[in-house]
Amino acid sequence: MSEAVLILGATSAIARATAAAFAARGNALYLASRDEEELRRIAADLRLRYGVEVHYGLFDAEATDTHEAFLKSVVTAMPNLSGMVLAFSYLGDQQAARDFSVGVKVIASNFTGAASILSHCANYFEPLQRGFIIGISSVAGDRGRQSNYVYGAAKGALSLYLQGLRNRLYASGVRVITIKPGFVDTAMTYGLPGLFLVASPQAIGERIVATLSKSADVVYLPWFWRYIMLIIKHIPEPIFKRMKL
Amino acid sequence: MPTLITSLSGWGRYPVQSCELERPERYADLRPDADSVIARGQGRSYGDAALNENGRVLLTERVNRLLEFDAEKGILRAEAGATLAEILDVIAPKGWFLPVTPGTKFVSLGGCVAADVHGKNHHHEGSFGDHVLGIDLILADGSRVTCTPDDNAELFWATVGGMGLTGIIGEVTFKLIPIQSAHMMVRHHAADNLEQLFQHLQNPAIDDRYTVAWMDSLATGKKLGRGIAMCGHHAAAEELPVDIGHAFSTRQKRSRSVPFDLPGWALNPVSIGAFNSFYYQLEEKKQQPFLTGYDPYFYPLDAVGHWNRLYGKRGFVQYQCVVSEPSAFDGIKALLQELSGSRRPSFLAVLKRFGAQGRGLLSFPMAGYTLALDLPIRDDGLFVLLDKLDEIVLQHGGRVYLAKDARLSADSFRAMYPRYAEWLRIKNAVDPQNRFSSSLSRRLGIGGNAT
Ligand SMILES: Cc1cc2nc3c(=O)[nH]c(=O)nc-3n(C[C@H](O)[C@H](O)[C@H](O)COP(=O)(O)OP(=O)(O)OC[C@H]3O[C@@H](n4cnc5c(N)ncnc54)[C@H](O)[C@@H]3O)c2cc1C
Ligand SMILES: NC(=O)c1ccc[n+]([C@@H]2O[C@H](COP(=O)([O-])OP(=O)(O)OC[C@H]3O[C@@H](n4cnc5c(N)ncnc54)[C@H](OP(=O)(O)O)[C@@H]3O)[C@@H](O)[C@H]2O)c1
């Protein structure tokens, strides 16, 4: 039986492309999100195109009390689980900043929910002394901007969490990779003004899987975002606070 | 659902119109959420069929999952956004092929049903719709209905060839054909003039499962209609040389792309004439049967991405018409004479024989011969010429293909599609508000007479 990969937020375009890149390598898959009909369709598609075993199940990042049982059912279905990709996210809109009842959902999915399922996955892989955890964060987490700082803060927190987890799991040989995409052409960004250098989900999905054969810990995708963010991070705060970003 | 307002065109890059795009990623989001909506697959129709000026265009490209494949019976069910290219990648290595395929594989399943596309085998196997077992259709009120040739048959045959005007096709189930290899056995037959070319196309000793003729569109006088009949079939196992390797793998060439628009003058009578003479002599030599992959055989143009840029910024019109059987020869001859008299060069001129008309109420094919011409837009004189061609087509009981059209008149449309009244009755029953409408439907006055 081939090694299996768990994809959380599997209905996202980036996740679909990542799952396809894993399937093309022959990996079995477990797809999870809150939309059963879509999961069924994506699973059928991956089975047909790549001839791999695909399971799916419901997962809600915000329902943290269900996460332990969820991971158990994944491992029962796929005892040879070798890694996971955390792709779910809720971007929210401008309102998230003014209305905390919206903001809290942004934080609950991008950070609290992520931290919850990550802790269960870490506890599962640590004693096995193998496995990988790929967390999709965002360049938006590198610096707070007025246009989406609730999302940015949650992603920034996720990046920090992954950093700490990497440090903890290093000794047990479990790899933790932080992915920071720039703009990607998905439902999250479709029709938004002000996008530039937009990457295709396919390109990002292939790069995500390719990072496993390299030694990088924090990966900007495409690569040039590392330098764009380097510049943005180094703009002095007295200037940055005046900018319309 | 977020939308994006942008300028959009078909493959011919004429006309260019401002449309409001939406791009659902989930099946449940295939819904008409505006007063005027049209579905769009890969935008390989040439004119304005998949445009909706100042209206909503629903892109199906992300709803492209392959759902079910019966490898015993050769039946595939897939979402309408899936392309023929994606489907071939999965089915051909397993010994199955598309029952009907247009000259590019970068089209969506939805587009194949909505335009009821034909291939080089229409005279034997009909059009795409003849091989469809069922579709899932999303109606104007958002409800989903399954249509097959038996259940909701009227709606089925109004949707096959219905150019997206009855609803959004969500899923398609269709029958594949078995193949013994991914190779084609092909033979070329040169003809010095139109008469001989017609004889080739009618000669059972020359005809094959797939037959198409390429013509030198600039040849005049005694050479008018000189061309090459290209006949082929899927190579049987015993036709393959022993050293060919795996029967289902053909070497894939990397495709190249035209990176920018060629200046408008690049394709002119001299350059096209030189190309045609060269091509005719080259292909004329291949009179012995030869083996080739299905890609170069069915999809020669797909090897060059964005080849539509060769026609320059103003774009081009593909004029494809059919003239009905009894006077087909005279009709094609008159069309070619009118064309060569105009000294407007056509880079491509293709002639095919059609079998009987199918059941799709607005489908294009009918018993006769179909001619396709690619004509760059230099000036408005082109549209005067095309109106003259329409008259010839009408005199010979024919019609113009809507999937290629950008300029037909509403009157000519009605004269060419006599089953329109029957179609309209079904359309009005399922879409009384005429929600599914496109730039093409408004130009041709299709739909919208509910009250
Ligand atoms: C190089 C080339 C060669 C070609 N050769 C042939 C040929 O040999 N024979 C032939 O018949 N055609 C041929 N065509 C035309 C092409 O096959 C048709 O125009 C086909 O409809 C294109 O599919 P598409 O996905 O690009 O559709 P689009 O161009 O996006 O749309 C075409 C029509 O289909 C409708 N449509 C698309 N998807 C849906 C859906 N999901 N639900 C409802 N309606 C939908 C649209 O509303 C529109 O009316 C060729 C085109 C090119 C560029
Ligand atoms: N697109 C970009 O430009 C961009 C840039 C940087 C980073 N990213 C990151 O890349 C990842 C994928 O992004 P995308 O653009 O492909 O996203 P997307 O299309 O918006 O998809 C996000 C997915 O998250 C799932 N999800 C949301 N809330 C959830 C919850 N409470 N529980 C479980 N699943 C939930 C949704 O699945 P269901 O609705 O099916 O549950 C949805 O498919 C995200 O982490 C995103 O932050 C994207």
> What is the CA(A158)–ligand 1 centre distance, in A?
45
- Of the given ranges (A84-98, A129-143, B319-333, B435-449), which has the lowest mean pLDDT? A84-98
A90-116 mean pLDDT: 91
Residue B253 or residue A155, greater confidence: A155
> What is the CA(A71)–ligand 2 centre distance, in A?
19
Residue B400: predicted pLDDT: 98
| Residue with CA nearest ligand 1 atom 20 | B111
Q: Closest to B67 (Cβ–Cβ): which among A41, A190, A191? A: A41
User: pLDDT digit string (tens) for A72-82?
Assistant: 999 999 999 99
Of the candidates B297, B275, B131, B295, the residue with the CA atom closest to the CA atom of residue B211: B297
Residue B254 or residue B188, greater confidence: B188
Would the pLDDT of B254 be above 60?
no
ipTM score assigned to the predicted complex:
0.95
| Mean residue pLDDT across chain B | 93
Query: Is A208's C-beta closer than 6 angstroms to any atom of ligand 2?
Result: no
Q: Closest to A49 (Cβ–Cβ): which among B22, B27, B66? A: B66
Residue B450: predicted pLDDT: 42
User: pLDDT digit string (tens) for A20-63?
Assistant: 999 999 999 999 999 999 999 999 999 999 999 999 999 999 99
Domains and CATH numbers, chain A: 4-240 (3.40.50.720)
Write down the pTM of the prediction: 0.96
Three state DSSP letters for B177-236: EECCCCEEEEEEEEECCHHHHHHHHHCCCCCCCEEEEEECCCCCHHHCCCEEEEEEEECC
Hey, are the CB atoms on A35 and B62 less than 8 Å from each other?
no
What atom in ligand 2 is closest to the CA of residue A136?
Answer: 45
> What is the CA(B109)–ligand 1 centre distance, in A?
9
B55-62 mean pLDDT: 98
Domain locations along chain B: 66-179, 183-407
Query: Is A59's C-beta closer than 6 angstroms to any atom of ligand 2?
Result: yes
Would the pLDDT of B276 be above 90?
no
Which chain B residue has the Cα nearest residue A40?
B67
User: pLDDT digit string (tens) for B122-177?
Assistant: 999 999 999 999 999 999 999 999 999 999 999 999 999 999 999 999 999 999 99
CB-CB contact of A74 with A81 (8 Å): yes
List, in order, residues 6 or more apart from A170 with CB less than 8 Å away: none
User: pLDDT digit string (tens) for B304-335?
Assistant: 888 888 888 899 999 999 999 989 999 999 99
Query: Is A21's C-beta closer than 6 angstroms to any atom of ligand 2?
Result: no
User: pLDDT digit string (tens) for B74-121?
Assistant: 999 999 999 999 999 999 999 999 999 999 999 999 999 999 999 999
d(CA B167, CA B58): 11
- Of the given ranges (A88-97, A182-191, B180-189, B424-433), which has the lowest mean pLDDT? A88-97
| For the CA of A110, the nearest ligand | 2
The full DSSP string for B331-371 is: HHHHHHHHHHHHT---S-EEEEEE-S--S-TT----SEEEE
Q: Which CATH class for the B66-179 domain?
A: alpha beta
d(CA B171, CA A164): 46
Pocket test for ligand 1, best of B23, B31, B37, B40 (most atoms within 8 A of CB): B40
Q: Min CA distance, A190 vs chain B (Å)?
A: 7
Q: Which residues of A touch B4 (CB under 8 A)?
A: 190-191
Q: Report the percent of chain B where pLDDT is more than 90.
A: 81
Q: Which residues of A touch B27 (CB under 8 A)?
A: 37-38, 41
According to DSSP, the β-strands at B37-40 and B56-59 are: parallel
User: pLDDT digit string (tens) for A106-158?
Assistant: 999 999 999 999 999 999 999 999 999 999 999 999 999 998 899 999 999 99
B329-344 mean pLDDT: 93
> What is the CA(A241)–ligand 1 centre distance, in A?
51
Pocket test for ligand 2, best of A6, A7, A11, A12 (most atoms within 8 A of CB): A12
Which chain A residue has the Cα nearest residue B66?
A45
> What is the CA(B64)–ligand 2 centre distance, in A?
19
The full DSSP string for A207-234 is: HHHHGGGS--SEEEESTTHHHHHHHHHT
Which chain B residue has the Cα nearest residue A191?
B4
Residue B353: predicted pLDDT: 97
- Of the given ranges (B10-14, B280-284, B380-384, B434-438), which has the lowest mean pLDDT? B280-284
d(CA B209, CA A49): 29
Would the pLDDT of B451 be above 50?
no
Q: Which residues of A touch B62 (CB under 8 A)?
A: 13
Which chain B residue has the Cα nearest residue A185?
B23
User: pLDDT digit string (tens) for A177-227?
Assistant: 999 999 999 999 999 888 899 999 999 999 999 999 999 999 999 999 999
Residue B262: predicted pLDDT: 67
Q: Min CA distance, A122 vs chain B (Å)?
A: 31
Residue B165: predicted pLDDT: 98
Give me the architecture of the B183-407 domain, per CATH. 2-Layer Sandwich (3.30)
Query: Which residue do the tokens 């009390």 mark?
Result: A65
**DSSP single-letter state for residue B293:** E
Residue B251: predicted pLDDT: 58
Q: Min CA distance, B90 vs chain A (Å)?
A: 6
Which chain A residue has the Cα nearest residue B59?
A190
Give the 3-state secondary structure of residue B314. coil
Query: Quick one: CA torsion of B431, B436, B440, B445, rounded to 10 degrees?
Result: 30
Residue B201 tokens, joined: 């196309």
List, in order, residues 6 or more apart from A67 with CB less than 8 Å away: A116, A117, A120
Question: What's the residue count for chain A?
Answer: 245
Q: Which of residues 39-98 of B touch A (CB under 8 A)?
A: 62, 65-69, 79, 86, 89-90
> What is the CA(B44)–ligand 1 centre distance, in A?
5
According to DSSP, the β-strands at B227-234 and B210-215 are: antiparallel
